[in-house]
Structure 1
Amino acid sequence: MEESQKHWSPYARKYDPLKAGSIDGTDTVPHDKAVSRAIEAHYEPPRNLKSKPERTLFVGRLGSKITKHDLKECFSRQGDVLSVKLIVDVVTGLPQGYAFVEMKNVEQAHRAVSRLHDVSLNGCRIFVDFECGRTMSGWKPRRLGGGFGGKKESGQLRFGGRDRPFKKPILPVYNQ
């Protein structure tokens, strides 16, 4: 086995906003302001968390009615859930639409990702993936212009995460 294949992984180990925002991974200059912002941004993941990053899952696209109990019930079918952290706005107390779920071990986390991604929970098709903030060096969250997701057809790979192909803008017609 070649040396490069020994270290191969289906998951990226280092985050590069330019490659994450590129359709084919060959861009050399940022194509929008968000990519530039992500390249210039400094982000330090929280260090005071007790959960283990390798078995912590990011759950997105949550509806406002989904509770910690709903998440725990859904994920407990795939293994033992140690903790659920539903992220809420510090000012309003309303849910932000995402959460972090810690499973008992890495195998259960892998099972949950493969079985629960794009599953309907209380009418919402949820997004489930591994936490990137503490496991991937150079990670930038979406609020800083980073993140993953989107579709090739839209030309904006980091945004959307759903099947939203690019549509031409509707321009007003002026009579001259």
Structure 2
Amino acid sequence: MSSFQAIPTDYDPLRAGSIDGTDADPHDNGIVRALNAKYKPNKGVRGNPECTVFVGRLNHSTTEETLEEQFKRYGNIEHIRLIRDIVTGFSQGYAFVEYTEPNAACRASIEANKIVIDDKEIMVDMECERTMPGWVPRRLGGGLGGRKESGQLRFGGRDRPFKKPIMLHNAGDSERFNNRDRRRSRSRERRDDWRRRDHSRDDDHRRMGRSRERYSRY
């Protein structure tokens, strides 16, 4: 637990479905599908994965030419692969841009993330399929990130990194929280003690008042 990573180096569908990577049971059908999937990266995909960035949330009207115009500012582009439906030929809203140098891909993943292309804010990250062991794609219930409306959020990527679990606060934090709890407990005890004393004095005053009232009758 001391080796917490907001962005993991390997892929686990169950962890990816958890905001802090600690869930023990799948909470949606997609995770179950991903756990049972036997996925192997597409051998037909060409290029160097270390030089490739994933570009998601594209406007379906965005073309390869538009992507080249936007991404060439970060370095020399080797190849652009816009994923299209094999039947209709329409864009599926994501692409892969391969550069000639890893530094260019790294720069694009940082500087191009969340820029707007064709009125859509895009998401850019390094390719995971061929670089992250255990990877399962979104269509099989895996992937990273996602939108809340879809009901299938995945964590562990740049878009939605893991949140540090509460039990991983360092010793100083734990001691500070314990001291705070002890101070609050002592404060409550003092308040309760004062309340008991106040009630006791009130009872004494009431008893004295009743005694005076009885004597005043004679």
- Tell me the TM-score normalized by structure 1: 0.80
**Which secondary structure does the structure 2 equivalent of 1:76 belong to?**
helix
Q: d(CA) in 1 for partners of 2:113 and 2:151?
A: 23
**Which secondary structure does the structure 2 equivalent of 1:113 belong to?**
helix
**Which secondary structure does the structure 1 equivalent of 2:79 belong to?**
strand
Are residue 34 (structure 1) and residue 30 (structure 2) matched? yes
Instruction: Decide which of 107, 119, 131 is 1:111's aligned counterpart.
Output: 107
Residue 19 of structure 1 is matched in structure 2 by 15
Task: Give 1:23's aligned amino acid.
Answer: I
Aligned residues of 2:79 and 2:98 also touching (Cα < 8 A): yes
Q: d(CA) in 1 for partners of 2:5 and 2:19?
A: 20
1:132-143 matches, within 5 Å, as 132-143=128-139
- Deviations 1:22-63 (CA, angstroms, capped at 9, x unpaired): 122111111111111100011111113321011111101111
Report how many residues are paired: 155
Deviation (angstroms), 1:103: 0.9
Task: Give 1:107's aligned amino acid.
Answer: N
Mean CA deviation greater in 111-120 or 22-31: 22-31
Cα 1:34–1:12 change in 2 (3 A) is: same
Residue 56 of structure 1 is matched in structure 2 by 52
Residue 122 of structure 2 is matched in structure 1 by 126
Residue 67 of structure 1 is matched in structure 2 by 63
Q: d(CA) in 1 for partners of 2:7 and 2:16?
A: 13
Aligned residues of 1:23 and 1:155 also touching (Cα < 8 A): no
Residue 206 of structure 2 is matched in structure 1 by none
State the identity %. Answer: 50
Q: d(CA) in 2 for partners of 1:89 and 1:26?
A: 36
Aligned residues of 2:10 and 2:135 also touching (Cα < 8 A): yes
- Tell me the TM-score normalized by structure 2: 0.65
Task: Give 1:148's aligned amino acid.
Answer: L
Are residue 98 (structure 1) and residue 94 (structure 2) matched? yes
RMSD: 2.5
Long gaps (5+) in structure 2: 161-218
Larger radius of gyration: 2
Long gaps (5+) in structure 1: 163-176
Residue 79 of structure 2 is matched in structure 1 by 83
Aligned residues of 1:61 and 1:97 also touching (Cα < 8 A): yes
Q: d(CA) in 2 for partners of 1:76 and 1:150?
A: 26
